Amino acid sequence: MPERKDYVDRLRKLEHMRSVGIDPYPHYFHVSQDISDIVKRENDFLGKEVSTAGRLMALRYHGKVGFGDLVMDGYKIQIFLRYDVLGDKYSNFKDIVDKGDFIGVKGDVVRTEKGELSILLKDFAIISKSLYDLPHQWFGIEDVETRYRQRYLDMILNPEIFEIFRKRSYITREIRNFLNSKGFIEFETPILQPVYGGANAKPFITYVNAIERNYYLRISDELYLKRLLVAGYPRVYEIGKDFRNEDIDSRHNPEFTMIEIYEAFKDYKYMMDLTENLIKHVAETVNGTLKISLNGREVDLSKPWKRVRMLDLLYENGIDAKRIGDDDIKELLKKYEIKMPAYVRGIAITKLFEAMFEESFIEPVFVMDYPRESTPLCKLHRDDPSLVERFELYINGIEIANGYSELNDPLLQERFFREEMERRTLGDEEAQQMDMDFIEALRTGMPNAGGVGIGIDRLSMILTGAKSIKEVIYYPILAPKQEK
RNA sequence: GGGCCCGUAGCUCAGCUAGGUAGAGCAUCUGGCUUUUAACCAGGUGGCCGGGGGUUCGAAUCCCCCCGGGCCCGCCA
């Protein structure tokens, strides 16, 4: 397979540089100011000499003058080359510098006749020679596969993508700031687990050589974080990757980032407040506003978020979940094309509810008080033991968060795990596993607590306006490219 | 898992319906140009038309299989 022509051309240029004593990959260049500093505080720098560096994204020669765009950290400044200033260095520049190279420049900050803030070059140095032509700047990269496989190209050429990932980093920073200021501490619990749990999902299986046993990549942090409540920490959280061996679409990536938060002596109502305040804090600090645009619709997060009981909403739409017969439920499941490996009334009602309403929750809504069987890890509802104190937060039609009053009764927990195991024997691959180590922890005593998990990728989608989860994941999973 | 669509130069795309020597713009290379910013002008290089197999005198084009990607549905309690 022949090498790309641009690569061959640049290699030749590289050899030429080396032959005249220029290192295309030197060890150091002194930067007195970042490009962003100069752009943001131009009045401080106008007329002064600076040395700065970035990737050269454009070059426009006009005989004995030239202009280029130097870019770093999402900021751009023009460089201005004059033969009458640079002398021989002018043609050196033309000989060895290409679009795409990282270069360092030294010169005075000036304005050109057209008013463009520029650095009038006195000297320059190659920092890193680029051996490929970058894709066309104006058209950018639109091929989705190239964008995901070579995300750095996507980021170089599509500034909005560069900003999405900067914002994503700010989102996790602000989550930490918010929680740390309230006395939470962050933990790192095991990713490799002998027994997986905390959610209903198919796991990834791996093998630990030293132990000669199969282990699982965690599907949730929950059962280990709760052990920290047993240990006596009142406020704990973890931000990390979970892994679920399921299908991939615009809302699901097999590895995704979750935060789980637990606070002792609280309940699910408190956790709804915490969740709402946390997301409002993040939106305001990261976006500078509580207004977001979802599906072209302006949504104001500052209004108090609605809280609805699942059964109330069903009742208002003609389904009395307390009284409806199982045959009628099965009829509705068929109508909404919901398949279940094993019919369980509470789970059926939950699925029905999601099928009927999920997509309609554009503005933030907390759905609360789920049927008992919808999760084995939640405390029974204090007023109705057929329900649990669970909530889910929906924004823009997708589930963003899931929280409970955490079950801390070891006897009930053991019973609920056994029910899950029965469901597994009936063919539900996503039923949870019995975790006796966790039961023993509960027997030792766990304070009552509120907990919530928030999908960071999905929250990032909401706050950046991304339409697919792949747009907020640096390297979304793709099949390996076949060798040609 | 089901349906629909896509893959042609470094990038963005045309050509395919109706088979007849692979095209454009940009990038790159050469030359010109002392205030441009998608710079401009002139000329040149560049492709196993995702891969394999058919049909045909002849395939980017028609047929089959495979690979990769996208969207929708299912699944994700």
| Predicted confidence (pLDDT) per residue in A250-287, tens digit | 899 999 999 999 999 999 999 999 999 999 999 999 99
A356 pLDDT more than 50? yes
Q: Which residues contact A327 (CB under 8 A, 6 or more apart)?
A: none
Q: Name the closest residue (CA) to the C1' of nucleotide B66.
A: A482
Q: Phi and psi at residue A313, in whole multiples of 5°?
A: -65, -40
Taking the C-alpha atoms of residue A178 and residue A280, their distance in angstroms, rounded to an integer, is 10
Q: Is the pLDDT of residue A1 over 50?
A: no
Percent of chain A with pLDDT over 90: 73
Closest CA-bearing residue to C1' of B50: A484
CB contact at 8 A, A351 and A395: no
ipTM: 0.88
Please write the tens of the pLDDT for every residue from A137-173.
Answer: 877 788 888 899 899 999 999 999 999 999 999 999 9
CATH class of A5-134: mainly beta
Q: What is the CA A114 to C1' B34 distance in angstroms?
A: 15
> Is beta strand A398-405 parallel, antiparallel or unpaired with respect to A387-395?
antiparallel
Residue A135's nearest nucleotide, by CA–C1', is B11
The candidate with the shortest Cα–Cα distance to A262, out of A231, A228, A218, is A228
CB atoms within 10 A of CB A205: 11
Give the pLDDT of residue A397.
Answer: 87
Which of the nucleotides lies closest to A114 (Cα–C1')? B35
What is the radius of gyration, based on Cα positions, of chain A? Answer: 29
Distances (CA, A) of A258 to A176, A253, A453: 13, 12, 7
Cβ atoms of A230 and A441 within 8 Å: the answer is: yes
Taken in order A474, A193, A417, A405, the sign of the CA dihedral is negative
Tokens coding A205: 């299986």
Q: How would you list the strands of the sheet with A204-208, edge to edge?
A: A192-193, A213-217, A204-208
Mean pLDDT of A429-450: 94
Strand stretches in A85-197, DSSP E: 102-111, 117-128, 185-186, 192-193
Nucleotide nearest to A476 (CA to C1'): B69
DSSP assigned state of A399:
E
Nearest of A252, A272, A271, A238 to residue A201 by alpha carbon: A252
**What are A160's two structure tokens?**
């909005």
Res. A17 pLDDT band, cuts 50 70 90: very high
Chain B bases near protein CB atoms (7 A cut-off): 1, 10-13, 25-29, 32-40, 45-48, 50-51, 67-77
- Evaluate if residue A422 carries a pLDDT over 80: yes
Write out the two tokens for A341.
């490996």
Q: What's the pLDDT at A428?
A: 80
Cα–Cα distance for residue pair A327/A339, rounded to 1 Å: 15
Domain boundaries defined on chain A: 5-134, 154-471
Of all nucleotides, the one whose C1′ comes closest to residue A353's CA is B77
Residue keyed to tokens 């002018």? A90
Closest Cα to residue A451, out of A227, A271, A275, A276?
Answer: A271
pLDDT for the residue numbered A482: 59
Task: From the CA of A62 to the C1' of B39: give the distance in Å.
Answer: 8
Those residues whose C-beta lies under 8 Å from the C-beta of residue A226, and which sit 6 or more positions away, are A262, A406, A438, A441, A442, A446, A449, A451
- Closest by CA to A221, choosing from A452, A448, A458, A475, is A452
| Packed helices A410-425 and A436-444: angle between N→C axes, nearest 10 degrees | 170
Confidence of residue A331 (pLDDT cuts 50, 70, 90): confident
Q: Provide the pLDDT for residue A306.
A: 94
Amino acid letter, residue A148:
Y
User: How many C-beta atoms surround the C-beta of residue A245 within 10 A?
Assistant: 14
Angstrom distance (rounded) from CA A296 to CA A394: 17
- Using CA atoms, how far apart are residues A242 and A191, in angstroms rounded to an integer? 8
Predicted TM-score (pTM) of this structure:
0.93
Reading the block at residue A359, the tokens are 């997509």
The CATH architecture assigned to A154-471 reads 2-Layer Sandwich (3.30)
Q: Do domains A5-134 and A154-471 have the same CATH topology?
A: no
Burial A54-66 (b: 16+ CB within 10 A, else e): bbbbebeeeeebb
Q: Show Cβ contacts of residue A332 under 8 Å, excluding neighbours closer than 6 positions.
A: A319, A352
Please compute the mean of the pLDDT values over residues A183-212 and round it to a whole number.
93
Mean pLDDT value across residues A75-80 = 97
pLDDT band at A437 (very low <50, low <70, confident <90, very high): very high
Residues forming beta bridges with residue A60, ordered by sequence position: A67
Calculate the angstrom distance between C1' of B62 and CA of A142: 30
Distance, in Å, from the CA atom of A413 to the CA atom of A71, rounded to the nearest integer, reads 57
- Exposed e or buried b per residue across A273-283, where buried means at least 16 C-beta atoms within 10 angstroms of its C-beta: ebbbebbbbbb
What is the structure's pLDDT at A143?
87
What are A315's two structure tokens? Answer: 């009742």
* Residue A484, pLDDT score: 39
Closest nucleotide (C1' vs CA) to A390 is B77
* Angstrom distance, A82 CA to B42 C1': 24
The whole-number average pLDDT for the span A345-361 is 89
